[in-house]
Structure 1
Amino acid sequence: MTVEPGGASSLRDGYDALLLDLDGTLYQGPLAMPGARAALASGTQALYYVTNNASRSPSEVAAHLTELGFDASESRVVTSSQSAARLLAEKIEPGAAVLVVGTEALADEVARVRLRPVRLFADSPVAVVQGHSPTTDWAILAEATLAIRSGALWVAANVDSTLPTERGLVLGNGSMVAALRTATSSEPLVAGKPAAPLMEDAIRRSGSLRPLVVGDRLDTDIEGANAVGLESLLVLTGVSTAIDVLRATEEQRPTFVASELGALNRPADESRVGEDRRFSVDFDGTDLVIEPKGRSIGTADSVTLLRHVAVSAWKYPEFGRVTSTHPAVSALVSDWGA
């Protein structure tokens, strides 16, 4: 039996499973996000790790998570490579050749569904599967181009344009997908977030009746949650920023927004997107103007204000800037880029 979020003692208590993104949410490269381990350590919810990154096997991902101190097992890791392999198996005959643009981990998932991974167009592939690999080069993209232009089915593990690392954002699988899209004038089937297959596989694997999606990207994690009708928590530790939240299209709007994962263990209403009685937000035809209703803004911080302003920003998506005549409010919004 689950508890509705509004009556729960903490945000996470309203859900029976957490479907957790990895890159930018739990870690960046080899480093865990500050406070992430402690935030997940309490609670009885099942933890499932759902990643668009197809470069590593579930066992490798689980080992990395365990090394960083997270409670993880291979059976609770759901990758876009697994979902991509499932899509292939549903559409082509067993034993068919699939040209793999990606790591051996992706090739292993193809083999696991009784398909034959190959690396050359000369091997007559009937499909191409593409996932992130740091060693992807012109040669393998050329093989894939030949196959796709010859009519091969094309499945992309994900279309993330960037990948968060400890050094900052670098190009992701979507940037490589864009190269093939340009070269072939074709569009792939997509397995990973925000497309539904990966989220559907995660829900099925977890057996959850009311899961919460947790991630750092509006265009993958949050849109993916909305695509399958799930509630979501956006943490501002990775790719998406405050201004991204304010400019979010309807399909990318989260249920909750927080600065970090510790929000899972605080009351749900502290992170829920909604109006704050301490402030008014008016649209003057050009800008959103925020003013406090009292002399003091109390303990309000930048993210608290963001959740309030988002309601008006989504109502008036044509707004230009976010402004205020109150110095303390202006200071809070100064780093939004709005």
Structure 2
Amino acid sequence: MTDDLLSRHDVLLADLDGTLYRGPEVVPGAVEAVRGAADRGVPTVYVTNNASRSPADVAAHLAELGFPARVEDVRTSSQAAAAMLAEQLPPGARVLVVGTSALADEVRARGLAVVGDAEGADAVVQGHSPDTGWRILAEAVVAVRAGALWVASNVDPTLPTERGPLPGNGSMVQVVRTATGARPQVAGKPAARLLREGCGDAQAPLVIGDRLDTDIEGANAMGAPSLMVLTGVSGAAELLAAAPELRPTHIGADLAALTRPPDELAPGPRPGWDVRADGGTLVLSGDGDGPEPTVDALRALCAVAWEQGVHDVRPDGAAAAAALADLGLAERPGR
């Protein structure tokens, strides 16, 4: 029996943006990894904080990209947000929707009424939409100030795209927070609810994501192991400085890590690298003897950084300098 990371889990709870794709582009190797897991009997549940599209649209997009995805395999923060509203409001309650028609449809499906202005609104639900503007945000502010229940699908400040990080729902939520002084209830990651709903009857989930403050923090909130991939938002500098609740169980360059032994993916000593703390700086030396020398350097650095509370780094030697440059932690000499 193969003793790799995949063999220890019975479902993958995978983030989408930055983990499986970036905008319209598939992350290299992601389709093969997800299909390979399915061939071994480990399904993937697609868990996204993005509330702008319906589960059916998300599944269709994933299928177009080559992923084995059905509607029932998708869990969105719009579904979780609508469920939170329905648990706290009577049937027919009026909900001001700041977001797309997909979010409005989820609200209606829960027996609630969708309205477009603040007058008489019992609640405000806010999800990502590229068309969100001042007028609807102003209506949300008026409603929240009047005492309306406020639920945000998620509070991600940015959204990863092929053009780089762009404003996410959290940036729009912050506008309402600034104007009202209120805080919303949050349906999506890092709250554990959305991930728990994706588990179903599975007993050994693995949460996979690219963002520490949503995917990884959510995994820790539900007590599940996690795989952090370096294909999206969070990078090496954030990992080194991560607080305990943001630290992943495993670190991988991408989803190919699923077929690696778990011990090789965990933060800790790695072959060919030495890390020592020198005052307030971590010093990396060696030449990296493993199959992933650059990511191995990061795994070794994280272990010492988290133990010592130090996250500034410098290289000792050319190989260490190259590894730090590749991780975005230093510049290569001569650049």
Q: What range is the shorter-chain TM-score in?
A: over 0.9
Tell me the CA shift for residue 336 of structure 1: 3.3
Say yes or no: does 1:288 pair with 2:282.
yes
Q: Who is 2:25 aligned against? A: 31
The CA RMSD measured in Å over matched residues stands at 1.4
Amino acid at match of 1:311: A
Tell me the CA shift for residue 267 of structure 1: 2.1
Whole-angstrom distance in 1 between the partners of 2:316 and 2:227: 31
Say if 1:8 and 1:268, in contact at 8 Å, map to a contact too.
no
Q: Relative to structure 2, which stretch is displaced further, 40-49 or 58-67?
A: 40-49
Whole-angstrom distance in 1 between the partners of 2:317 and 2:190: 39
Tell me the CA shift for residue 200 of structure 1: 2.1
Q: Relative to structure 2, which stretch is displaced further, 274-283 or 219-228?
A: 274-283
Whole-angstrom distance in 2 between the partners of 1:316 and 1:252: 16
Q: Who is 2:333 aligned against? A: none
TM-score, normalising length: structure 1: 0.93
How do residues 1-338 of structure 1 correspond to structure 2 at under 5 angstroms?
9-42=3-36, 43-122=40-119, 124-203=120-199, 206-292=200-286, 297-299=288-290, 301-319=293-311, 321-338=312-329
SS of alignment partner, residue 248 of structure 2: coil
CA deviation map 1:29-70 (0-9, x unaligned): 122111111111113101100000000000000000001010
Tell me the CA shift for residue 241 of structure 1: 0.5
Whole-angstrom distance in 2 between the partners of 1:277 and 1:71: 36
Amino acid at match of 2:159: L
Say if 2:91 and 2:111, in contact at 8 Å, map to a contact too.
yes
CA deviation map 1:227-267 (0-9, x unaligned): 01000001100001111111111000001111111111222
Whole-angstrom distance in 2 between the partners of 1:277 and 1:69: 36
Amino acid at match of 2:315: S
Gaps of 5+ in 1: 1-6
Amino acid at match of 1:297: G
Say if 2:271 and 2:288, in contact at 8 Å, map to a contact too.
no
CA deviation map 1:185-212 (0-9, x unaligned): 1000000111122122222xx3211100
Amino acid at match of 1:333: L
Q: Who is 1:4 aligned against? A: none
Whole-angstrom distance in 2 between the partners of 1:17 and 1:8: 17
Tell me the CA shift for residue 324 of structure 1: 2.8
Tell me the CA shift for residue 337 of structure 1: 4.0
Say if 2:150 and 2:185, in contact at 8 Å, map to a contact too.
yes
TM-score, normalising length: structure 2: 0.94
Tell me the CA shift for residue 277 of structure 1: 4.8
Tell me the CA shift for residue 271 of structure 1: 1.6
Residues paired across the two proteins, number: 325
Whole-angstrom distance in 1 between the partners of 2:308 and 2:166: 32
Whole-angstrom distance in 1 between the partners of 2:44 and 2:271: 35
